[in-house]
Structure 1
Amino acid sequence: MTSLTPLSQAIHDAPRWHQADQFQDGSEIRIVPHTDQALGAVVYGLDARKAQSGETIFRLKQALAEHLVLIFKQQQLDDLQYLAFTTYFGSIFRPAADTPVLAAQDDSGVSPDIVPVSNAVGQGDYTGHGELSPHANHQWTPLPSFGSLLYAIELPQDGGQTSWINTIKAYNALDADTQAHIDQLQLIIYNPFVRRQKTQASSQDGVYGNSPLYRFKDQPVLSHAYPHPLVRTHPESGRKALWLNTHTEVELENYEDQAGSELIAQLRAHLLQPEFAYEHQWEVGDIVFWDNQVTLHSRRPFPAEQCRLLKRISLAGSRPF
């Protein structure tokens, strides 16, 4: 018999609804919104090792669409249990080999289903220990991921906090004239990993390396271009959000260079206002699940000699509209 892949093995071994000792009582689960923050809710009482009912998963999906970030506390999972829990919410994100992403393997171009986001495990030291600027995972791909989960295994004593930006709130805070002007614009976000490969940037430069913030038409194109809406519509809630990060090379389609560069700079400064953000103080056992379609996330730096290990799984998405 053919051996199973880790994902298939995770589903094969997943707890079953009909086994009472493996089933989660949904009444034990509480979802507490961050009433004083721009986004986020904490989920208490959920044991991600157990089978979850349809009512619980639907409730969590509704909460994610409303609050954009869910924080599951005090989890203790192995990799297969983590995969099995994650797939309640969608398929694993697997970009094509011709579209480099974080942790893409040199031989195949494919990234693992579980990416160790760490400075402490050797080959998996994908993001180092420096600051990471606000971004959404996989924005430069033809089918960006819908969401990601990050599971805290080992944490530094100092720094390493992750912040999320609510890009729905940021869009809604724009004046009506600006909203009308940008609603139909198309944005190209160029693949920072292609630039890093071609310029051989140091890993200490962070995920994005040293790249221009805006591509003028006389500058070379280093990666494939996939235009997406600058203002993205959430596929479930219908809410609009700015589909833009702060430091990756971008270009507005059919837009004059200098005016486009200035508009993007203004929108990026707008996104960084503190009233749109929530900063998470990690605890071991936290799993944070966020909606990539309507949030950005960033990381504070931490000392190189302190270990930080989290495990990320991303979920497949659809073409932005």
Structure 2
Amino acid sequence: MSVTTMTRFVHEKIKPTIGSRILNSKAELLAGDLGSQIRELLEQRGVLVFKEINFNDEEQIAFTKTLGTFAPEMQDGTDHKIHKITLDVKENPQSAEYLKGSLYWHIDGTMNDTPILASLLSCKVPATWGGNTGFCNTYAAYDALTDEQKAEYEPLRVMHSVWSSLLYYEPEPPLAKLTGFQRIGENELPLVWNHRSGRKSLVLGCTAHRVLDEEPMKSAQLLVGLREWATREEFSYSHEWSVGDLVIWDNTGTMHRAEKYDPDCNRMMHRTKLQGEEPFE
């Protein structure tokens, strides 16, 4: 007679409304038995921290696949590798420029109908100073609004674009650069995401530049005011990286940003992603 032993899922809260620390061993995580429990906790807590778990690249890819469908970086779906997140153009020649926008609050994939479900980021080389990653729980931020505010924001639609994020870090770009970013296009999204679970979250960030059918001044006040609300201390967590840390965040219910650091320090993070399962609605 065989006996099946269930692995106990061990975790602790970091803050009341965001973040949990996962305390299971590397072997337990790679076994795959905890995948559904990790997914459930991720949706509840927004951010999961695996302190100094020290996954190598192959282990990080394998662990990612225990949680859902691996999302390749390449549009043709052929790249199932680690993606290097660094401003070092020798290591990351194609996307170092776009990473400058990561210093501002954002949700990944606002140019897509279905954004990625989650990102997994591991630290290989921390910054010499700064370089934390900040997160805020946009589920919790929505839940804490008044009923009157929820009724006001529910029907609003917002235009998102990559070119608007360019203006955060380069306020006076050359016209050629601006038009190059504008060729990526724009995407109209709801301000309030009605999830299949029945929960709701705010869709904000540096790609959000215009509330439709609102005067420009009122539009700016709404977007800045809600960003300020969603990133309040009670909804936010800033992770200070150590070598070997892995952090997962729910891209459908959080915003994130890299916090300021020395751009010449060769900070190196390795990222994998989970394919999106739910369109913006």
TM class by shorter-chain length? 0.7 to 0.9
Where does residue 220 of structure 2 map in the other structure? 261
Displacement of 1:50 in angstroms is: 3.0
Q: 1-side partners of 2:236 and 2:121: how far apart? A: 18
Please tell me the residue identity of whatever aligns with 2:192: V
Displacement of 1:131 in angstroms is: 7.5
* 1:64-103 superposed matches below 5 A: 64-94=42-72, 97=75
Q: 1-side partners of 2:265 and 2:229: how far apart? A: 33
Please tell me the residue identity of whatever aligns with 1:60: I
Q: CA contact under 8 A between 1:129 and 1:304: conserved in structure 2?
A: no
Match status 1:191 vs 2:191: no
Match status 1:60 vs 2:19: no
TM-score by length of 2: 0.81
| Cα-Cα RMSD | 3.3
Q: 2-side partners of 1:190 and 1:161: how far apart? A: 25
Q: CA contact under 8 A between 2:17 and 2:235: conserved in structure 1?
A: yes
Paired-residue identity, %:
25
> In the superposition, relative to structure 1, how do residues 223 and 109 fare at CA in structure 2: closer, same or farther (>3 Å)?
farther
* 1:246-257 superposed matches below 5 A: 247-257=206-216
Q: 2-side partners of 1:129 and 1:43: how far apart? A: 30
Q: CA contact under 8 A between 1:153 and 1:310: conserved in structure 2?
A: yes
Q: CA contact under 8 A between 2:110 and 2:207: conserved in structure 1?
A: no
Displacement of 1:288 in angstroms is: 0.4
TM-score by length of 1: 0.72
The one of 233, 236, 240 aligned to 2:200: 240
Q: Deviations over 1:118-149 (max 9, x none)?
A: 13472316266897011111122222111111
Q: Deviations over 1:187-218 (max 9, x none)?
A: 2211249x85xxxx9xxx76xx5489xxxxxx
Matched residue SS, 1:144:
coil
Displacement of 1:222 in angstroms is: 4.5
Match status 1:123 vs 2:103: no
The one of 104, 107, 120 aligned to 1:136: 107
The one of 252, 265, 268 aligned to 1:306: 265
Displacement of 1:94 in angstroms is: 4.8
Matched residue SS, 2:129:
coil
Displacement of 1:58 in angstroms is: 1.6
Q: CA contact under 8 A between 2:108 and 2:116: conserved in structure 1?
A: yes
Match status 1:26 vs 2:26: no
Matched residue SS, 1:189:
strand
Match status 1:285 vs 2:244: yes
Unaligned runs of 5+ in 2: 174-180
The one of 9, 20, 42 aligned to 1:41: 20
